[in-house]
Structure 1
Amino acid sequence: MEFDYDLFVIGGGSGGVRAARLTAQDGHKVALAEESRMGGTCVIRGCVPKKLMVYASEYPEAIHLAQRYGWGAETGGFDWERFRTHLNTELERLENAYQTNVEKAGVEIFKQRARIADPHTVELADGTTKTAKHILVAVGGHPNRPDMRNAELGLVSDDLFHLGALPKKMLIVGAGYIGCEFAGIFNGLGVDVSMFIRKAQILRGFDDEARGHIADCMQARGVTLHTGCAPTAIEKRDGGIWVKGSNGHEEVFDSLLWAVGRSPNTKGLGLEEVGVKLNRRGAIEVDDYFQTAVPSIYALGDVIGRVELTPVAIREAIAFNRTVFKGEKTKMDYDLIPSATFTQPEMGSVGLTEEQAEAQEPTLVYAAAFRPMQSAFAGVEERVLFKLLVSKETDKVLGAHIVGPSAAEMIQFVAVALKMGATKADFDRTCAVHPAMAEEMVTLKDPVRVLA
Structure 2
Amino acid sequence: MEFDFDLFVIGGGSGGVRAARVASSEAGAKVGLAEEYRMGGTCVIRGCVPKKLMVFASGYAGAFEDARAYGWDVTAGAFDWSVFRPKLDAELTRLENIYRTNLAKAGVQIFDARATVADPHTVRLSDGQTFTAKHILVATGGRPFVPPVAADCPVMTSNEVFQMDALPKDILIVGGGYIACEFACILNGLGVEVTQYYRGAQILRGFDDEARGHIADQMVANGVNLHLGTDVIEMTTVDGGIRVKSTDGKERVYEKVLYATGRDPNSDGLGLEQVGVKLGRKGEVVVDDYSQTSVPSIFAIGDVTDRVNLTPVAIREGVAFVETVFKGNPTKPDHDLIPSAVFTQPELGTIGLSEEDAAEQEPIEVYAASFRPMQTLFAGRDDRVMMKLIVSQATRKVLGCHIVADHAGELIQLAGVAVKMGATKEDFDRTVAVHPTMSEELVTMKTPVRTA
TM-score, with length taken from structure 1 = 0.99
Q: Map Cα deviations across residues 171-218 of structure 1 (whole Å, 9 max, x no partner).
A: 000010000000000000000000111001100110000010000000
Q: Aligned partner of 2:17: which letter?
A: V
- Residue number in structure 2 paired with 1:183: 184
The code of the aligned residue for 1:401 comes to H
Determine whether 1:45 maps to 2:46. yes
Does the alignment pair 1:86 with 2:87? yes
**1:238 touches 1:252 (CA, 8 Å); kept in 2?**
no
Of stretches 295-304 and 140-149 in structure 1, the one that deviates more from structure 2 is: 140-149
Q: Deviations over 1:55-111 (max 9, x none)?
A: 000000011100000001122011101100000000000000000000100000000
Describe the shift of the 1:420–1:149 C-alpha distance in structure 2 as closer, same or farther (beyond 3 A). Answer: closer
How far apart are the structure 2 equivalents of 1:389 and 1:149? 41
Matches within 5 A, 1:18-37: 18-25=18-25, 26-37=27-38
The residue identity in structure 1 corresponding to 2:18 is: R
Q: Percent identity?
A: 63
CA deviation string 1:104-154 (max 9, x = no partner): 000000000000000000000011100000000000000011112554321
CA distance in 1, matches of 2:132, 2:237: 50
* Matched residue, 2:228: 227
Checking the alignment, whether the CA contact within 8 Å between 2:12 and 2:34 is kept in structure 1 is yes
What is the SS of the residue equivalent to 1:437?
A: coil
Three-state SS of the structure 2 residue aligned to 1:130 is strand
Aligned to 2:358: 357
DSSP-derived class of the 1:368 partner: strand
One-letter amino acid of the counterpart of residue 73, structure 2: G
Distance in 2 (CA, whole Å) between partners of 1:163 and 1:42 is 18
User: Could you report, residue by residue, the CA deviation over 1:417-438 in whole angstroms, capped at 9, with x for unpaired residues?
Assistant: 0111100000001000001111
Rounded Cα–Cα distance in structure 2 between residues aligned with 1:150 and 1:284:
26
Tell me how large the CA RMSD over aligned residues is: 0.8
Q: How does 1:155-234 map to 2 (within 5 A)?
A: 155-234=156-235
| Separation (CA, whole Å) in 2 of partners of 1:239 and 1:352 | 45
Superposed displacement of residue 238, structure 1:
4.6
Task: Indicate the larger mover: 269-278 or 229-238.
Answer: 229-238
Distance in structure 2 (CA, Å) of the matches to 1:409 and 1:227: 29
Q: Over residues 216-259 of structure 1, what are the superposed CA-to-partner deviations in whole Å (9 max), with x where a residue is unaligned?
A: 00000000111111100111235221101111122111100000
Work out the CA distance in 2 between the residues paired with 1:119 and 1:318.
Answer: 22
Partner of 1:143: 144
| Corresponding residue number in structure 2 for 1:345 | 346
Distance in 1 between residues matched to 2:237 and 2:103, nearest whole Å: 46
TM-score by length of 2: 0.99
Retained in 1: the 8 A contact 2:153–2:235?
Answer: no
Partner Cα distance (1:394, 1:149) in 2: 50
Match of 1:56 in 2: 57
For residues 246 and 178 of structure 1, the distance between their equivalents in structure 2, rounded to whole angstroms, comes to 22
Give the aligned length. 451
- Per-residue CA shift, 1:287-324, capped at 9, x if unaligned? 11111000000000000000000000000011000000
Q: Which amino acid aligns with 2:273?
A: E
1:419 matches 2:433: no
- Asked whether the equivalents of residues 200 and 230 of structure 2 are also in contact (C-alpha less than 8 Å), the reply is yes
Distance 1:118 1:225 in 2: 49
Q: Which moved more, 1:143-152 or 1:182-191?
A: 143-152
8 Å contact 1:181–1:341 — kept in the other structure? yes
Task: State the alpha-carbon separation in 2 of the partners of residues 407 and 24 from structure 1.
Answer: 37
Measured against aligned partners, the alpha-carbon deviations of 1:387-411 in whole angstroms (never above 9, x if no partner) come to 0000011111000000011100010
Question: Paired residue for 1:245?
Answer: 246
Unpaired stretches in structure 2, ≥5 consecutive residues: none
Residue pair 2:153, 2:236 contacting (<8 A) in 1 also: no
Q: Secondary structure at the residue paired with 2:440?
A: helix
Contact 2:153–2:242 (Cα < 8 Å) also in 1: no
CA–CA distance in 2 between the matches of 1:357 and 1:151?
Answer: 43
Structure 2 counterpart of 1:450, one-letter code: T
| AA of the residue aligned to 2:312 | P
SS of aligned partner of 2:147: coil
Q: State how far apart, in whole Å, the 2-side matches of 1:342 and 1:135 are.
A: 35
SS at match of 2:148: coil
The whole-number CA distance in structure 2 between the counterparts of 1:431 and 1:72 is 38
Tell me the residue number matched to 2:12: 12
Which runs of no fewer than 5 residues in structure 1 stay unpaired? none
CA distance in 2, matches of 1:318, 1:341: 25
Name the SS for the 2:149 alignment partner.
coil
Inter-partner Cα distance in structure 2 for 1:289 and 1:373: 47
How is 1:256-335 mapped onto 2 (pairs within 5 angstroms)?
A: 256-335=257-336
Determine helix, strand or coil for the equivalent of 1:183. helix
